[in-house]
Amino acid sequence: MVNRSETRANIVGTAARLLREEGAAAVTVRAVAHAAGLQPPALYRFFEDKDALLDAVAEHVFTTYVTEKTHTGGSDDPVADLRAGWDAHLAFGLANPALFGLLVAPGRASPAAEAGLAVLRARVRRIAEAGRLRVPERRAAELVHAAGTGAVLTLLASPPEDRDPGLADALLDAVLRAILTGAPADPPATAPKLTDAERALLAEWLNRR
């Protein structure tokens, strides 16, 4: 017999597939229930409404991405780690356009989006602790967040073949010049990493219901 947690996981996985393959408009209660082999009323035993389902999908996809694309431990250079996080943010947004649109939609509070912001703030705090910030932490984090969101949305607005491959890096360099003392660090040669503290913070945010 399939238990409650397995049924919930099946619903979320099905909704995530529909979102990836057909976009947000395809993720309706009726469509998800049909694809998951359930009657529509059954979904309301797990999710209050469509928004709650989409939030669960966002958390599922986001945490899966973090698990697959990051490694425990950061570098000794907090600016390099910020660049690595920027690269991960861009890769995630470009790989998941429909989900990214949901995460950054105005007025939509998602635990997954808050988790990402929490990690960004932690990385900015490390830069501040190293004496590298010329602006307050909050302003630095908001500048990086706004630039990263804008970069992804701008790139997604064009077909892949028409995108400027250097746009995102140029934008990050401009932001770093505005918030850092001294020259920004060179991009890291390794894959993006989270420190143990950042991973714990991420888990704390995503475990909140």
83-114 pLDDT, tens digit each: 988 998 898 889 888 888 877 877 776 777 78
- Token pair for 70: 């990051």
The CATH homologous superfamily of the domain defined by 1-47? Homeodomain-like (1.10.10.60)
Instruction: Return the structure tokens found at 32.
Output: 């998800």
> Is-contact 95 19, C-beta < 8 A?
no
Of 20, 55, 49, the C-alpha closest to 35 is 20
The owner of tokens 């888990």 is 203
- Residue 26 has a pLDDT of 82
Residue numbers of the chain with a pLDDT score lower than 70? 1-2, 65-74, 109, 183-209
Asked if 1-47 and 51-206 have one fold, the answer is: no
Determine the residue type at 74. G
- Map out the domains of the chain as residue ranges: 1-47, 51-206
Contact 59, 206 (CB under 8 A): yes
Compute CA distances 121 → 16, 143, 188, whole Å.
Answer: 27, 11, 20
* Burial environment of residue 79 by CB neighbours within 10 A (0 to 12, 13 to 18, 19 or more): buried
Give residue-wise pLDDT tens across range 196-208.
Answer: 666 665 666 555 5
What are 25-40's pLDDT values in tens digits?
888 889 999 999 999 8
Residue 72 confidence (pLDDT): 44
What superfamily would CATH give domain 51-206?
Tetracycline Repressor, domain 2 (1.10.357.10)
